[in-house]
Structure 1
Amino acid sequence: MIHQYKLNGYNIVLDTYSGAVHVVDELAYDVIALYEKYPVEEIVKIMLEKYARNSDISEAEVRETITAVDELKKDGQLFTEDQFKNLSIDLKNRKTYVKALCLNVAHTCNLTCDYCFASQGKYNGNRAIMSYEVGKRTIDFLLENSGHHRNLDIDFFGGEPLMAWEVVKQIVAYARSKEKEFKKSFRFTFTTNGMLLNDEVTEFLNQEMYNVVLSLDGRKEVHNRLRKTVSGKGSYEQIVPKFKEFIEKRGDKEYYVRGTYTHNNVDFTNDIFHIADLGFDKLSMEPVICDPSEPYALTDEDLPEIYNQYEILAKEMLNRQEKGNGFTFYHYMLDLSEGPCIQKRISGCGSGTEYLAVTPWGELFPCHQFVGDEEFSMGNIWDGIIKADIQDQFKENNCYSKPHCEGCWAKLYCSGGCPANALHSTGSIKGTDDFSCDIFRKRVECSMMVKVAEAIKAME
């Protein structure tokens, strides 16, 4: 399977199953498009007719181009066969161990964001803060169920996890105390709206957290429209100075400023550029996931402009990189030389198998986006996974188990998409959220173009 597209002056051809990316001239681009549809003589005839006005294109050149495509096919770089379908069957039967947990340490929040999937942090339930006893047992659960994994990930999430600040520090200290005994290494991530950042918090997060995610939607008017305090005021003015100070002290450690774009700001590149102009250089901007009836919900009519915005973003990133003030965009971090192992490409994020979410009460869910949906309650940190059938559903959920993925050229980049988005869109984790798929494919195209441009410049 191949995918061809043109962007920013480049003719790009992706061979899906080998992962090979080619930048070709117009003639080769057209020959590749016809290669599996017509015999050689017919391709020669069609090309000579098309390029009849171009005296530089001779019959010999057309045949040389066809021969070059033949060679690439023989070398396994074009029109390669799918070698991974049987592997997807093996993955269903594999023994999995937990290597990452999302700790919902706070089912409460000091903001009331309109689009919050967690119902302002409550997850459609009662407000709660995780106790140290639950947090301690959660670390023990992970150690007991991590198997051969030496590197373990803990994401502190909410709600707003800074509202559980004391227990966060205790959990980190306890986990660190167990590393040598179990020969494991913990890596912590923290997501915050920034309202409670102060010197003590900053020092601790910069010392202990591998990555910190800071929530900011962009321009002041955009951010304040939907991310408000309990009193109804926008939070932009309070958090931006705190974020700036935090990043100044963070040094070269990982962080992301993460925003959400909605129907209200389909021109979201202006928000990304605004955040970059504030001095932040590691950015992410996600499409809102919400009930389609909400006034800020993205619609199919928004898609053409969303595509345009991603192209604008890719071109501007290259422009800024050239000028020496570039930035990283999370969804354009595509490794064309190595990338994730094939098992990860097929099975995806590992939700429900290698990655679980834990509530303040110690209940286990496939990931944070399933928390509160009792249909997907898998067990708890004391008894472990009680409902193995739920885990089996997630083991079997990959880009080869979904009919809609069969002919998709991007399936080995998305692994079948987000199960939570599929559930909310179709009622089944085995479904596909077409809107999200469309956006994902566009992002892959743009990220490939960026990598192509960077590679060509490096060669020059």
Structure 2
Amino acid sequence: MIHQYKSNGYNIVMDVESGAVHVVDDVTYDVIALFEDTEISKIVEQLSDKYDKADIEEAISEVNQLKEDGQLFTQDIYQPFIEEFKDKRQTVVKALCLHIAHDCNLACKYCFAEEGEYHGRRAMMSFEVGKKALDFLVANSGSRVNLEVDFFGGEPLMNWDVVKQLVEYGRSLEEPNHKKFRFTLTTNGVLLNDEIMEYLNKEMSNVVLSLDGRKEVNDRMRPFRTGKGSYDLIVPKFQKLAESRNQSNYYVRGTFTRDNLDFSEDVKHFADLGFKQMSIEPVVGPEEDPYSIREEDLPKIMEEYDKLALEYIKREKEGRGFNFFHFMIDLNQGPCVYKRLSGCGSGTEYLAVTPWGDFYPCHQFVGNEEFLMGNVDEGIKRTDLVKTFGNCNVYSKEKCKNCFARFYCSGGCAANSFNFHGTINDAYEIGCEMERKRVECSIMIKAALADNEKEVY
């Protein structure tokens, strides 16, 4: 599959199956568009009004060479083996999302976790339940050395003592089991203090800091239960933590809704506050909710990603760049082969654990009893769910088959698919449109910064 598009003055051609990306001149761009379905003589004839014949023929020769080199018009060599892969695939658990606290000290209006309750009761994970979860992870991780544990909520800092106890216990498991834990934590920042920051810097490989952007945006959607905004309290703490981590190994993570479709301004605000690592995600919710993204919002959203991409390039060239999660694509490796076949890993390699020890495929399924997989005492009981999630990938989804971005998103979010279509083997169309735009912007950014490096050289 070939995907062609123009962006910021660049003619970009993606060879989807190989992952090769080409920035070409106008004549080559037009030749590629005709190459598969048109005879060579007809290509020359059709383009002769626009370009010199010699230039057209040279472009045809170059395209032929790229095809022979396996960089254009390549075939998918993995699809024929997908059934065999699914039958023989042996998975190990490599990551847990520990719901350390089903409670929160904020009342975010878009929260899918219902202020931390997840359609259930408020609860805190005990050390004993968390200990069993870590034991389960070690026992079911096979020969894998590096294991990941995310402390999640609600608000994890409301159960801080148990977080520390579990980190200590995890460290005690490393040497005798030949494992290495990578701990992360997501926080709204309300309870952050110097002591906690020092501990996070010592033990947490990554910290996610929840902030929605400009003060008026954040305080509208992320208030305390009294209605008071949280921005003024948490921003100085986040700035201090980011600096204490040398502006790495953290993310400021925002959510944009219909109330701030101009979200590029919020990302710029993050950068102006001094943050270097950031992400802002579209809210996902029922269409009837006033804050939910709708199809009619997509033109504005696409415009915002274009604006953000240009700002990203501008600031990078000025020496004051930042990392935006959705613009980080590694073109040297191409789309990950494993991800083509395995999807995101939820329900197989990654599990969420409730405060009372139940297993779910990921945090977005927590509270839906249809997806209760087992518990820390009995292990995985619903092996049928493991198989169902293991068979979910870009080849099992009809909507992914003709999508140029499928190998970058691995088929998208299973929970969004289920919530909108009642099956994990579908796709959330609005999310797909945004993902395609982000991939296009990411590749254009690579082209623009490569041009800049040439100029500097």
Counterparts of 1:290-439 in structure 2, within 5 Å, are 290-339=285-334, 341-439=336-434
Structure 1 ranges of 4+ moved more than 4 A = none
In structure 2, the partner of 1:71 is 65
How far apart are the structure 1 equivalents of 2:201 and 2:85? Answer: 37
Tell me what 1:22 maps to.
Answer: 22
Give the conservation status (yes or no) of the 8 Å contact 1:363–1:381: yes
> Does the 8 Å CA contact 2:20/2:334 hold for their aligned counterparts?
no
Distance 1:316 1:346 in 2: 35
Letter in 2 for 1:374: E
CA distance in 2, matches of 1:189, 1:90: 35
Asked if 1 retains the 8 angstrom alpha-carbon contact of 2:248 and 2:276, the reply is no
Number of residue-to-residue matches in the alignment: 454
Shift of 1:457: 2.2
Output the CA distance in 1 between the equivalents of 2:6 and 2:201: 42
Q: Secondary structure at the match of 1:103?
A: strand
Task: Give the C-alpha shift of residue 210 in structure 1.
Answer: 0.3
Deviation at 1:340, TM superposition (A): 5.7
- The aligned counterpart of 1:285 is 280
Q: State the Cα RMSD in Å.
A: 1.0
Given that 1:17 and 1:80 are in contact with CA atoms closer than 8 Å, whether structure 2 keeps it comes out as yes
The answer as to whether partners of 1:91 and 1:395 remain within 8 angstroms in 2 is no
Q: For 2:250 and 2:17, locate their aligned partners in 1 and report how far apart those are by CA, in whole Å.
A: 32
**8 Å contact 1:210–1:253 — kept in the other structure?**
no
Gaps of 5+ in 2: none
1:300-348: CA deviations, max 9, x gaps? Answer: 1110110111011111111001111100000111000015630123322
> In the alignment, is residue 154 of structure 1 matched against residue 110 of structure 2?
no
Q: Which whole-Å CA distance do the structure 1 matches of 2:38 and 2:248 have between them?
A: 54
Instruction: After superposing the two structures, state which structure 1 stretch, 374-383 or 342-351, moved more.
Output: 342-351
Amino acid of the residue matched to residue 79 of structure 1?
F
C-alpha offsets along residues 370-398 of structure 1, whole Å, 9 cap, x if unaligned? 00000000001121110111111101100
* Matched-pair contact (CA < 8 Å) for 2:279–2:326: yes
Q: Residue in 1 aligned with 2:40?
A: 40
In structure 2, the residue matched to 1:85 is: 79
> 8 Å contact 2:18–2:334 — kept in the other structure?
no
Alpha-carbon deviation of 1:252? 5.0
* C-alpha separation in 1, matches of 2:161 and 2:96: 19
- Following TM superposition, by how much is the alpha carbon of 1:236 offset from its aligned partner in structure 2, in angstroms? 0.6
- Would you say the 8 A contact 1:99–1:354 is kept in 2? yes
- Secondary structure of the 1:42 match is helix
Matched, 1:61 2:30: no
Shift of 1:292: 1.1
Q: Once structures 1 and 2 are overlaid, which stretch shifts more, 110-119 or 241-250?
A: 241-250
Q: 1:339 to 1:159 in 2, by over 3 A?
A: farther
**AA matched with 1:13:** V
| Other-structure match for 2:231 | 236
SS in 2 for 1:449: helix
- Could you say which residue in structure 2 is the equivalent of 1:7? 7
Amino acid in structure 2 at the alignment position of 1:240:
V
Contact 1:152 1:185 in 2 (8 A): yes
1:98 to 67, 79, 93: 93
Identity rate of aligned residues, in percent?
Answer: 56
Aligned residue for 2:214?
219
Residues 394-426 of structure 1: CA distance to partner in whole angstroms, max 9, x if unpaired?
A: 011000001111111111111111101101111
- Distance of 1:450 and 1:405 partners within structure 2: 24
* 2:257–2:283 Cα contact (<8 Å) kept: yes
Seen in structure 2, the aligned counterparts of structure 1 residues 366 and 255 have a Cα distance that, compared at 3 Å, is same
1:358–1:364 CA contact under 8 A, matched in 2: yes
Query: C-alpha deviations, 1:343-383, integer Å up to 9, x for none?
Result: 12332221000000000011000000000000000001121
Give the counterpart letter for 1:16 in structure 2.
Answer: V
| Structure 2 counterpart of 1:103, one-letter code | L
